[in-house]
C-alpha cells in the first residue's frame, strides 16, 4: 500500500508542544544509524492507517527493540505509542519511524499471525552480527600502525633491574643464596650478650630435615636457647608492635604479594602492546615498602592516635 506522509505533518507533530528541534534532530540520527528495523501496516480503515514497527534501543542494541504503533489519519499524524520511557507522549523513536514512512511510501500489510514473528531468532541473530563488539584497531577509518617487532631483552634481566637500587628489594632477597644458620657460641663474661635475632621462616625451613611440624618445632627449640625462643614467640604474638618483625616482613613473598604479581602478569597477557610494566615492576621490586622518616614517625604514632 502506498502511503504519503509529508514533512509538514511531521513538523506539526514535533512542534506541537516542543519549542526546540531537538526531538527532530535525535530522530534523524536514529534513522541515519539504521536503527529503524521494521515498519509495516497493521490495520487499514479507509484513509486511516495503523503502522507497527521496531526500533533498536540506542543503549542496548542487541536487546529486544522498542515496539512502536503509529496511526495516520490521511496525511496527518494521529495517535502514537512506543515502549520506551517517553513513549506515552513523544520520543525520538516515533520521529525516526515517521521520517522512515516519509522516505519509503510503500509498505506491506501484515496479517494478525505475522505480528509475533516480526522479531524472531533470525532478526536477533542479524542484529547481533551487525553490532558485534570489535576492537578499536579494527574500526573503519582508523589507521593501522605497523611498526618493527619489539625485540625481547636477553640475559640477566632481573639483575639489571635490581642494580643500583637504594634498598633491598623483595626480588633481591629471594635470589640470595640461602646459607645454613650460624649458631653463635656463648658469650664470655667480658662481652655483651648478642641481641637475639629473628630468623626468617624461609631460612629455617631450608635448613630443617624434620619430617613433621612437631619435629620442626622441637628442632628449633634445640637449636636456639630458651630465651631466644621466648623472644621469637613474643614477637610473633605481638608482630603488629614488633619493629624487627615488620622489618622482616618487608620484602617477603607473602600470599598477597604473590597474588598481586599473578594478577598483573595475567593482565599483561590480555592487554595489547605496548604494556605498562610499572605495576608489575612494583610488585616485583616492592618499591612501596620504602619508608621515609616522616612515614616512620606516622607509623610509630598510629597506635596512640587510634
Torsion sign over Cα 288, 290, 293, 298: positive
Shared domain for 172 and 244, answered yes or no, is yes
CA–CA dist 218, 210 (Å, integer): 9
Whole-model pTM over 0.85: no
149-208 pLDDT, tens digit per residue, is 777 777 777 778 777 777 777 777 776 654 444 444 455 555 555 544 556 555 666 677
Residues 6+ apart with CB under 8 A from 87: 66, 68, 81, 93, 94
89-93, 199-203, 237-241, range with the lowest pLDDT: 199-203
138 occurs within a structural domain: no
Shared domain for 104 and 204, answered yes or no, is no
Q: Kindly provide the b/e burial profile for residues 167-185, where b requires at least 16 CB atoms within 10 angstroms of the residue's own CB.
A: eebbbbbeeeeeeeeeeee
Shared domain for 50 and 117, answered yes or no, is yes
Q: Choose between 254 and 157: higher pLDDT.
A: 157
Other Cβ atoms within 10 Å of 99 Cβ, number:
20
For residues 68-95, give the mean pLDDT: 86
Three-class DSSP labels, 73-101: ECCEEEEEEECCCCCCCCCHHHHHHHHHH
Shared domain for 73 and 174, answered yes or no, is no
C-alpha cell at 209: 630435615
Shared domain for 57 and 122, answered yes or no, is yes
Per mean pLDDT, which of 16-20, 97-101, 125-129 is the most reliable? 97-101
Q: Which residue range forms the structural domain that includes residue 299?
A: 157-182+193-305
Nearest to 37, CA basis, from 63, 19, 18: 63
**Do 105 and 2 contact (CB within 8 A), yes or no?**
yes
Shared domain for 163 and 287, answered yes or no, is yes
Q: Given this model, what pLDDT does residue 265 score?
A: 78
Shared domain for 103 and 176, answered yes or no, is no
- Total tally of structural domains belonging to the chain: 2
CA atoms in the 13 A half-sphere facing the CB of 154: 1
Other Cβ atoms within 10 Å of 285 Cβ, number:
19
Q: Given this model, what pLDDT does residue 179 score?
A: 47
Shared domain for 161 and 296, answered yes or no, is yes
Amino acid at each position: 500500500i502506498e502511503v504519503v506522509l509529508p514533512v509538514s505533518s511531521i513538523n506539526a507533530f514535533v512542534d506541537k508542544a516542543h519549542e526546540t528541534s531537538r526531538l527532530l534532530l535525535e530522530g534523524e540520527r536514529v534513522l541515519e544509524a539504521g536503527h529503524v528495523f521494521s515498519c509495516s501496516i497493521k490495520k487499514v480503515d479507509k484513509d486511516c492507517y495503523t503502522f507497527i514497527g521496531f526500533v533498536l534501543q540506542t543503549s542496548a542494541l542487541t536487546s529486544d527493540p522498542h515496539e512502536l504503533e503509529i496511526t495516520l489519519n490521511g496525511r496527518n499524524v494521529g495517535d502514537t505509542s512506543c515502549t520506551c520511557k517517553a513513549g506515552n507522549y513523544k520520543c525520538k523513536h516515533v520521529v525516526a519511524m515517521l521520517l522512515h514512512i516519509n522516505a519509503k511510501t510503500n509498505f506491506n500489510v501484515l496479517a494478525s499471525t505475522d505480528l509475533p514473528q516480526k522479531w524472531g531468532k533470525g532478526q536477533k541473530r542479524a542484529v547481533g552480527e551487525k553490532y558485534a563488539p570489535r576492537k578499536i584497531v579494527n574500526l573503519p577509518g582508523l589507521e593501522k600502525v605497523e611498526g618493527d617487532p619489539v625485540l625481547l631483552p636477553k640475559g640477566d634481566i632481573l639483575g639489571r633491574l635490581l642494580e643500583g637500587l637504594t634498598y633491598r628489594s623483595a626480588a633481591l632477597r629471594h635470589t640470595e643464596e640461602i646459607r645454613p644458620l650460624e649458631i653463635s657460641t656463648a658469650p664470655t663474661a667480658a662481652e655483651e650478650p648478642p641481641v637475639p635475632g629473628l630468623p626468617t621462616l624461609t631460612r629455617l625451613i631450608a635448613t630443617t630435615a624434620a619430617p613433621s611440624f612437631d619435629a620442626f618445632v622441637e628442632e628449633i627449640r634445640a637449636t636456639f636457647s630458651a630465651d631466644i625462643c621466648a623472644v621469637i614467640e613474643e614477637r610473633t604474638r605481638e608482630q603488629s608492635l614488633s619493629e624487627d618483625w615488620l622489618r622482616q616482613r618487608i620484602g617477603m613473598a607473602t600470599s598477597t604479594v604473590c597474588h598481586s604479581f599473578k594478577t598483573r602478569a595475567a593482565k599483561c597477557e590480555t592487554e595489547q602492546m605496548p604494556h605498562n610494566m610499572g605495576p608489575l615492576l612494583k610488585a616485583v621490586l616492592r618499591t612501596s615498602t620504602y619508608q621515609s622518616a616522616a612515614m616512620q614517625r606516622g607509623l610509630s604514632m598510629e597506635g596512640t592516635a587510634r
